[in-house]
Amino acid sequence: MSQTIYVISGPAGVGKSTTSQQLVQALSKSAYISGDAISHIPVNGRGKPWLFKETFDLTWKNILSLTRNLLEQDYDVVIDYVTFPSEIEWFVQQLTDFQYRIVYVVLLVDRSTLIARDQSRSAEVQMGERSLVLLEEFEACSELKEQHKLYTQQYRREQVSEIIEEIQNNFRFILKGGHPS
């Protein structure tokens, strides 16, 4: 049996964490990697602009190492992180020695829904402008294929389970590997 890596991407405030955590609960042997948490492992000496690329690469290197260890022990892995196609491409290139399936989902909403969702969060975690900038980056990204986009503005909070089903059962999100069993 081969494992599945789910990469749940999208702009800040779109619902990546909620979706990822419910997805991990829907799987029988599963692990949850928060890219944000991993990116905060380096604390001091990481913030300088000229170190940014290095720190960013380190985050992906750390996510990769954890994923490898988890696949070796037969876990499905859910990665919750702002992830662009170029990062996915690098990631897949590092995992050629594993049998696995990778599902890549970019959660998106329209502008007004994103603003409304962001404002409904507590003040200290609101992203404000940053959230919209990321939304535009995803929408302008020519490498991002339509098949990996999932617009969620029609789902209400209590309908996350329907998004989970869609992610698990719709073949269009599969980037590499066989169909979901």
Which residue lies nearer to a second copy by CB, 40 or 111? 40
Q: How far is the CB of 83 from a second copy (least distance, A)?
A: 17
Q: Which of 2, 36, 52, 54 binds a second copy (CB under 8 A)?
A: 54
33 binds a second copy (CB under 8 A): yes
Residue 49 structure tokens: 């602009």
Binder among 32, 91, 104, 173 for a second copy (CB under 8 A): 32
61 lies in the binding site for a second copy (CB under 8 A): yes
- Residues in 65-84 that interact with a second copy by CB under 8 A: 65-66, 68-70, 73, 75
Instruction: Work out which of 29, 130, 172, 176 binds a second copy, going by CB under 8 A.
Output: 29
CB of 73 to a second copy, least distance (A): 6
Residue 100 is encoded by which pair of tokens?
């696995």
Of these, 25, 99, 119, 159, which contacts a second copy (CB under 8 A)?
25
Strand partners, 77: 5, 31
Enter the tokens of residue 61.
């290197």
36: Cα within 13 Å, side-chain hemisphere: 12
Distance CA 130, CA 111 (A): 12
Instruction: Report the residue number, 25 or 159, with the smaller CB distance to a second copy.
Output: 25
Distance, in Å, from the CA atom of 163 to the CA atom of 153, rounded to the nearest integer, reads 11
- As a whole number of angstroms, the distance between CA 51 and CA 28 comes to 39
Q: State how far the Cα of 138 lies from the Cα of 48, in Å rounded to an integer.
A: 25
Q: Is residue 109 within 8 Å of 117, Cβ to Cβ?
A: yes
Q: Which is nearer to a second copy, 31 or 109 (CB)?
A: 31
Give the contacts of 54 (CB within 8 A, at least 6 positions apart): none
Stretch that binds a second copy, among 38-46, 81-89, 154-162, 163-171 (CB under 8 A): 38-46
- Residues contributing to the site for a second copy (CB under 8 A): 24-25, 27-33, 37, 41-46, 54, 58, 61-62, 65-66, 68-70, 73, 75
